[in-house]
Amino acid sequence: QAFFCLLLCIPWGSSCPPSCQCTERAGAKAVLCSSRHLEEIPEDIPRDVVFLKLDANSITRIPGNAFRHLSHLEEIDLSRNAIEKIDGAAFKGVAAGLRSLDLSGNRIRSIPKEALLALKAKLRLANNPWHCECALQEVLWEARLDLDSIQDITCHTAPREEYVGKPLLQVLDAGVNLCGVRQRTTDVAMLVTMFAWFAMVVVYVVCYVRHNREDSCRHGHYLRALPSAPAHAE
């Protein structure tokens, strides 16, 4: 009976992932998984965690609903990993209470804007090989970015060569609208497509007319080649 009583008295979510250390900071539970060679986010993180450190690991992606059961979570440190892909619903369930999210020092080239724009957390996105595009511009305009690291959001690739290697903020301050660049590219593509269809129609009409003309000529030659009908005797 004492054993079962002990089991019932242990609160759910009080266990700690074997590769991590669980402690308390200012009365709030912290799970420390720094530099533990993790390749994915642990699934057995206590539900009452407030501070979660997963930095300096080998995590490559953040799947959808990765933190959905951690309703008390306020800070996530995912810096210095190998993250390349972030699902649009990666932070679903924690967006309202999250205060800090560090994604710096990863391999992120692009990110679904819906993954970050719902967050009220302060974001650190520096030192990633960003492809400077419309979605990243919208994140920069609408998300709460950490001001100390915003200058380190640099264009690794971009629609135009002159933007490469420059801080995204500098590019935007120069009056560049990456969403406008995308729109112009789309407009040009539509014009090219319409021109191609128009050219195909013209070629078809020309070929059709020429084919009919050739048929008419052949028919005329054929009629002229027929022997004349003999005249009726009077």
How far is Cα 99 from Cα 46, in angstroms, rounded to an integer?
19
Domain annotation covers residue 78: yes
Assign residue 149 the CATH number of its domain: 3.80.10.10
Q: Is 126 helix (H, G, I), strand (E, B) or coil?
A: coil
Per-residue pLDDT of the chain (234 residues; tens, 9 = 90+): 443 333 333 344 458 999 899 999 888 999 999 999 999 999 899 999 999 999 999 999 999 999 999 999 999 999 999 999 999 999 999 988 999 999 999 999 999 989 987 888 999 999 999 999 998 998 888 889 999 999 999 999 999 999 999 999 999 999 999 988 544 444 444 555 665 666 677 666 667 667 676 666 665 665 566 565 555 544
Query: What's the alpha-carbon Rg for the chain, to the nearest Å?
Result: 33
Domain around 61 = 21-176
Domain annotation covers residue 64: yes
Domain annotation covers residue 73: yes
Domain annotation covers residue 79: yes
Distance of CA 12 to the CA centre of its chain: 35
Amino acid identity for residue 216 in this structure:
S
11-60 tens-digit pLDDT? 444 589 998 999 998 889 999 999 999 999 998 999 999 999 999 999 99
Burial class (CB in 10 A: 0-12, 13-18, 19+), 209: exposed
The string over 62-86, giving b where at least 16 C-beta atoms fall within 10 Å of a residue's C-beta and e elsewhere, is beeebbeebeebbbbbbbbbebbeb
Tell me if the pTM is above 0.85: no
Distance of CA 25 to the CA centre of its chain: 34
Domain annotation covers residue 219: no
Domain annotation covers residue 108: yes
| Sequential DSSP letters for 12-64 | TT----TTSEEEEETTEEEEE-TTS--SS--S---TTEEEEE--SS---EE-T
Domain annotation covers residue 13: no
Domain annotation covers residue 210: no
Our count of domains for the chain comes to: 1
